[in-house]
Structure 1
Amino acid sequence: MPRRVDHRERRELLADALMRLAATHGLQGVSLRQVAGEAGVSTGMVQHYFRTKDEMMTFALSMAGSRIRARSEAAAASGTPRELVRGVLLQILPLDDTRRLESHVGLAFLAYAAVKPAIREGLRADADELRGFIARQLRAAGAGNLDPDLAAIGLMALVDGLGMQLLSGQYAEQDAVAALDAQLALIFS
């Protein structure tokens, strides 16, 4: 009896291979053949699941976003608005191997999105979702005279900047977390 193939699992295997390559080589030069080699499968299998490189990258971006969201939802399961925002933002900072890989991939996707509108729309939707969550928490906390939407944008920019600095070795992880905590203290005071 033939083995039943889990198509979602195969697509994730290929997307993981793409993300590993993107983290080390960027996205522009990654080919379907390289993804096949990284995943240990044939180029034909990659083409069976993804007709184009853009289709594969869109799926990989969606998959990475889903993984970050799942961790963020677990971090935001309970607590004060400040604790919820902190928990979610810590899931974005490259503080372990998984998040470092995701951060490298995120940078590669940002560069690629600059010239690919379909990828850009996926990134924008994820950013809008996060911004909305943070703004709702700021409103719930009654964050003083701050515009919750602008404060959310500022926190997201802070985490993006800290993430790039961590990836390039400019700061120690504990310093980046302390900087985030200091900003949260200002906003939520």
Structure 2
Amino acid sequence: MPRKVDHRERRELLADALMRLAATRGLEAVSLRHVAAEAGVSTGMVQHYFRTKDEMMGFALEMVMDRIEERSRAALTPGSPREIVRALLLQILPLDETRRLEGHVGLAFLAYAAVKPAMAVGLREAADGMRGFLADQVRAAAGPGVDPDRAATGLLALVDGLGLQLLSRQFGEEDAVAALDAQLDLVFGQS
């Protein structure tokens, strides 16, 4: 009896190979052939699942966003809006090997999206959704005079900047988390 192939699993195997390449060599080094070699499969198999590099890149980006969302959901225990925001933003910061890989891949995707407008759409939609969620949390619990939309934008910008600093080894993890907590104090009040 022929073995049943899990197509989603195969696509994820290929996307994981793409992410390893992107994190170590940049997206410009990614090709269907390179991904096949990294995954230990034939180029034909990669082409079976992805007709183009852009299609493969789009899937990998979705996979990264899905993994962050999945991890975030697991980390979001019932709590105050501040606790929810903190837990979510900590899942984005590159504080462990998995999140560092995702951070490197995220940087590569941002650079790629700068020249591929279709790729930028997915990134923008994800950022808009995150910003809206954060603004709702801020709106529910921030002190007077805090603009929820601007605070959400500022929190995302802070985490992006801290992520860059962590990836380039300019800050340590403790400093990055302390900076995030200080900003949360400004938005939500002292904890």
Taking structure 1 as the reference length, the TM-score comes to 0.98
The answer to whether the 8 Å contact 2:91/2:99 transfers is yes
AA in 2 matched with 1:74:
A
SS of match in other structure, 1:114: helix
Aligned position for 1:106: 106
Q: Distance in 1 between matches of 2:150 and 2:13?
A: 38
TM-aligned CA deviation for residue 29 of structure 1: 2.4
Per mean C-alpha deviation after superposition, the further-off stretch among 137-146 and 116-125 is 137-146
Question: How many angstroms apart in 1 are the aligned matches of 2:100 and 2:123?
Answer: 18
**Residue number in structure 2 paired with 1:23:** 23
Counterpart check, 1:56 vs 2:32: no
For the residue of structure 2 that corresponds to 1:159, the secondary structure is: helix
Q: Quick check: 2:113–2:119 contact (8 Å CA) kept in 1?
A: yes
Query: 1:74 & 1:132 partners in 2: Cα distance?
Result: 20
Q: TM-score w.r.t. structure 2 length?
A: 0.97
Distance 1:64 1:48, change over 3 A: same
Mapped partners of 2:14, 2:88: distance in 1: 27
- Aligned residue for 2:30, secondary structure, equals coil
Partner of 2:80: 80
| Pair 1:134-2:134 in alignment | yes
Residue of structure 1 in register with 2:35 after alignment: 35
Counterpart of 2:97? 97
Alpha-carbon offset, residue 152 of structure 1: 0.4
Deviation at 1:73, TM superposition (A): 1.3
Matched pairs, number: 189
Return the offset for 1:74: 1.7
Mark the runs of 5 or more structure 1 residues left unpaired by the alignment: none
The share of aligned pairs that are identical, in percent, is 74
- TM-superposition CA deviations, 1:119-177 (whole Å, max 9, x none): 10010011011101100000111432111111100000000000000011101100000
Q: Aligned-pair RMSD on alpha carbons? A: 0.7
Q: Which ranges in structure 2 are unaligned for 5 or more consecutive residues? A: none
Contact 2:131–2:152 (CA<8 Å) still a contact in 1?
A: yes
Q: Is the 8 A contact 2:142 2:187 kept in 1?
A: no
Q: Distance in 2 between matches of 1:9 and 1:29?
A: 24
**Partner Cα separation in structure 2 for residue 153 and residue 53 of structure 1:** 31
- Of residues 156-165 and 138-147 in structure 1, the stretch that sits farther from structure 2 once superposed is 138-147
Amino acid at match of 1:173: E
After superposition, give the CA deviation of every residue in 1:46-88 in whole Å (9 maximum; x if it has no partner).
0000000000000000010000001111222311000000000
| 1:148 aligns to 2:148 (yes or no) | yes
